[in-house]
A and B are shown apart, each in its own frame.
Chain A
Amino acid sequence: MPIAIAFDSGGNAATEPWIKAAKPTYPCLIDRRHVVAELYDMVNVPTAVWIDERGKIVRPSEPAGVTDAFRKMNRTNFSIPTDAMAELQAKRKAYQDALRDWVANGAKSKFALGEAEVLRRMHTPDDNQVRAAANFRLGEYLFEQGHASAAQKYFEEAKRLRPDSWNYKRQAWALEDPMKPGGPEFWAAVDSLGDGKYYPGAEDI
């Protein structure tokens, strides 16, 4: 059972066109406060968690079939070079094949990780990162209450305390201006990663 979670403080207005276009046969839930991101320590989208029939995590939060290949995108016309496109398609297929293997084989699937490996891969937030979450939460509350510029102050602090969170950066930018999450500030932040990964852990499937 897939469950899609939209980390969208813009709620229905932001998400409806995408959900309607997808015509999903599975639940698509609206997570304005990024609750699931906090519960599972997710910092970007698309990020996935695999949960078995007993309600146990068998793959902790990881990039879901995506890679950094999108960084080769042409920023003027948004085209992606052939080699990067091939890499993205291959990664997506590999991830989907892994999911199918798990559906077919359950705990016997090599993709359903043992407890030790789940714990090894799992990240849990430190004190700065939970403080970031509290700042983001306050920002989201203030935004909901109609105090958009006050909200941005706490979004900025969340970003400062947790620079690895692309959710904080891009959600805050989206609330300022819908073009900002894909604009020059975004690309500058991506470039500043250097050899660092936008999707760390994507290499694991």
Chain B
Amino acid sequence: MTLNIIYGERVTQGVDADAKGGELWLKPGDLERVSGWTHEPRGFCSGEVCVPVPAAREAEFVRAGGCNLAALAGLLGQPMVVDAENHAYCFGEAAAERKRVLTSLDAPDFTLPDLDGEMHSLSHYRGKKVFVVSWASW
């Protein structure tokens, strides 16, 4: 089936996947472009991080020509929310990861547009005191 997958900041439309019973099997190339993870001999890797597949549970995560992103998300504590009608999968951040980032006290970076569509990143203002304040039209 063809799915639209939201994985953190990434949104990938039209991904060919085998999705059933809470599983989400993607071709290895699609796994990487959807999520940034690749499957290596030592486990699933993304950037500097590698996560080993739990012993004796390989079959839940990997098969010939496929990786189960739902299983990986479960392992990482990432919530997965599915809208079957619109073929949409949304993977969110794990609580442990948000805690790790925030308790480091390093202000998480973000890049957002102004009204003119010009992008601004928090990290651009390093060296200044920054007062980040939220508001809303509602």
Interface residues of B (CB under 8 A from A): 4, 6, 9, 11, 77-81, 83, 85-86, 88, 90-95, 98-99, 101-103, 105-108, 110, 112-115, 120, 122-123, 125-138
Q: Indicate whether A71 reaches chain B with its CB closer than 8 angstroms.
A: no
**Contact residues in A for B79 (Cβ distance below 8 Å):** 127, 130-131, 133-134
**Contact residues in B for A70 (Cβ distance below 8 Å):** none
**Contact residues in B for A173 (Cβ distance below 8 Å):** 138
Most-contacted residue by chain B among A5, A10, A60 (CB, 10 A): A5
Given the known interface contacts A137-B92, A138-B6, the answer about A37 and B83 at a Cβ–Cβ threshold of 8 Å is: no
Given the known interface contacts A99-B131, A134-B81, the answer about A170 and B99 at a Cβ–Cβ threshold of 8 Å is: no
| CA gap between A195 and B101 in the complex, in Å | 33
| CA gap between A30 and B136 in the complex, in Å | 10
**Contact residues in A for B107 (Cβ distance below 8 Å):** 49, 51, 55-57
User: Is B11 a contact of A19 with CB atoms below 8 Å?
Assistant: no
Q: Indicate whether A156 reaches chain B with its CB closer than 8 angstroms.
A: no
User: Is A124 a contact of B137 with CB atoms below 8 Å?
Assistant: no
**Contact residues in B for A2 (Cβ distance below 8 Å):** 130-133
